[in-house]
Chains A and B, each alone.
Chain A
Amino acid sequence: DAGITQSPRHKVTETGTPVTLRCHQTENHRYMYWYRQDPGHGLRLIHYSYGVKDTDKGEVSDGYSVSRSKTEDFLLTLESATSSQTSVYFCAIRRDGDTGELFFGEGSRLTVL
């Protein structure tokens, strides 16, 4: 399962507060991803990283920022959380190599009141 750990797994916060979600991997894969999933919907890419300090936007990046200061950690920050950011957030890594399967973490459920 590529040793992916997300934290926190659950968080309740208030509108306007900053929130940081952490994704940690133990296998030093190059590519890491943050997706959000809303009830009854598919996965939407927020941001992804292709190396330390190398990140790019996904489909729904507004309101989110990311950082990757070391290979194993990819942080997702909501600078000022809004109720529309209530969602389940999944981190994923891409296995290095041509085939490149994605492996997902267990998810972080965020509720913004």
Chain B
Amino acid sequence: AQTVTQSQPEMSVQEAETVTLSCTYDTSESDYYLFWYKQPPSRQMILVIRQEAYKQQNATENRFSVNFQKAAKSFSLKISDSQLGDAAMYFCAYYNFNKFYFGSGTKLNVKP
């Protein structure tokens, strides 16, 4: 069965600094999708970034980028120039065969 592991329950970063959130997953499949979602206190899940497993190039969305290591089954999220509005729970997710698997989340605190 596919599992997604986020080993950092909570992290803190200074405003304007860079932080990296870790995610590993377990799968025997070669074609799948990976996502990072953000959940602020409002509870609304927001897509941050996605990565197709067949693409070698790491996805980037403005201040957010990923380091996708397929062989190592690792999918970390880097947030550059952290802002107060980045404070939230971040969930890593794996998708294949019509099903999503989510990690347990990392709470990110941003210090002014």
A associates with B: no
